[in-house]
Amino acid sequence: MLVAQAAAAWCRWTGLPRPDRDQAAGRGAAARGGRRAPVTPRVVLAPDSFKSTLTAARAAEAMAEGFRRVRPDVVTERLPQADGGEGTLDTVLAARTDAAVRTTTVTLPGGPRTARWLMLDDGTAIVELADCCGLPLIGTADPAGADSAPLGTVLREALRASARRIVVGLGGSASTDGGAGCLRELGLRTTGPDDRDVPPGGAGLAVVTSVDTTNLLAPPPDGVLLLCDVDAPLFGPRGAAAVFAPQKGAGPELVRFLDSALRRWADLAGGAPDAPGAGAAGGIGYGLSSYWRATMTSGARYLSELSGLPGRVPGAALVVTGEGRHDEQSYTGKVTGHVVRLAQRHRVPAAVIAGAVATERAGVTMVSLTDLAGSEREAMERPEHHLRRAAERLAAGLTA
């Protein structure tokens, strides 16, 4: 008995297999000549789309090819992500086999367009703003008049299809209209001093004096969930106009005008203009939460859970994410910031591959495609090629 206890203590101290607990491990090691099988490294690839250049799925595949070239022994898991902006529908399609694609015709400044949306078996409709009136579709020619009406057209169609719940991805908008255009398509009427309908876009908010909800359609019975890619308030220094309107073509004077118009809109609508996400999509988060009782959540977190990402991070050798531009905004609700935090929470090494890198983060490897390619133009013309190169560089540094 004492001999057995002493032997067990020796095994615990040295780490050698115990016959009673590690028999299988011992037999396996003996079959291999006394050596344990090497652990196969597993790398999780969870990029966002590279705006107007690559979808998240294509970006993940390019990264996987780069790893395979240098480290064919590595297992790569491709989990393309989205945060409520571009690529939201594709992320849901990859994660849900019951997602059926529906289409609706919307009216844009350049003419009609077919917008996609999804219906799940449980009656949930998934709508992506970027696919019906996103910035690449509308452009920056008229930032004061850009309107969210096409989103309202798709939401109305989802109601007609008897959706019990609607999930709306809000990222990538071209408008700064507080959601007024979207709500107008749902039956809301906004009028000016002469009782005439106000113009579309943020310009209309500057003259609106009255709101009539008489004909506003009711939201679906199980509610509306907004997937926000930012936590910005409606107005102010961190608001929809100050931070995001310049990306939509607004100069300093117009930014001030739009911020004032959003304040006027808040005075009429009530609601919670300071709520995180109220400024999402030019204030659509605020409009739909005020008039349609929508709730807001992090799009990056919601979609990462839908794709199963949180369960794949623990135990990985490396987690790689990516986007077109990595800056401070990446940590205010975007995919890359969410993925980095998730990796760090589980003490897994993280890397970011981005078209341009404008911020660093302690303990995170950053790879700029612009630096790797030698110029921004070259990086954008051959993004998949340079993504593969960036992944090869990461693979070469991966611990065996």
Supply the CATH number for residue 231's domain: 3.90.1510.10
- Encode 10-39: b = buried (16+ Cβ within 10 Å), e = exposed: ebeeeeebeeeeeeeeeeeeeeeeeeeeee
Among 280, 300, 320, give the residue marking a domain's end. Answer: 300
- Domain match, 167 and 259 both: yes
pLDDT for the residue numbered 11: 40
Count of helix runs (H) and strand runs (E) in the chain: 17, 13
Does some domain include residue 181?
yes
| Range of the structural domain that residue 348 is part of | 42-79+312-396
CB 268, CB 211: distance < 8 Å: yes
pLDDT for the residue numbered 30: 39
- Domain match, 238 and 149 both: yes
- Domain match, 294 and 325 both: no
Q: Express each pLDDT in 155-169 by its tens digit.
A: 999 999 999 999 999
User: CA-to-CA distance for 382 and 370, rounded, in angstroms?
Assistant: 11
Sheet holding 224-228, edge to edge: 100-108, 111-119, 124-128, 165-169, 224-228, 295-298
Task: Report the number of distinct structural domains present in the chain.
Answer: 2
- Domain match, 208 and 69 both: no
In DSSP notation, 11-76 reads HHHHTPPPTTT-HHHHHHHHHTTS-PPPPPPEEEE----BTTTB-HHHHHHHHHHHHHHH-TTSEE
- Domain match, 211 and 323 both: no
pLDDT for the residue numbered 35: 60
pLDDT for the residue numbered 29: 40
- Domain match, 120 and 244 both: yes
- Domain match, 96 and 239 both: yes
Among 236, 265, 300, give the residue marking a domain's end. Answer: 300
Which residue stretches of the chain have pLDDT < 50? 1-33
Among 239, 269, 300, give the residue marking a domain's end. Answer: 300
- Domain match, 139 and 210 both: yes
- Domain match, 218 and 132 both: yes
Please report, for the domain that includes residue 348, its CATH number.
3.40.50.10350
User: CA-to-CA distance for 258 and 251, rounded, in angstroms?
Assistant: 10
The pairing of beta strand 189-191 with beta strand 210-212? antiparallel
Q: Express each pLDDT in 193-209 by its tens digit.
A: 989 999 999 999 999 99
Give pTM, 2 decimals. Answer: 0.85
- Domain match, 295 and 385 both: no
- Domain match, 324 and 254 both: no
User: CA-to-CA distance for 42 and 312, rounded, in angstroms?
Assistant: 10
- Cα–Cα–Cα angle for 334, 346, 306, rounded to 5 degrees: 50
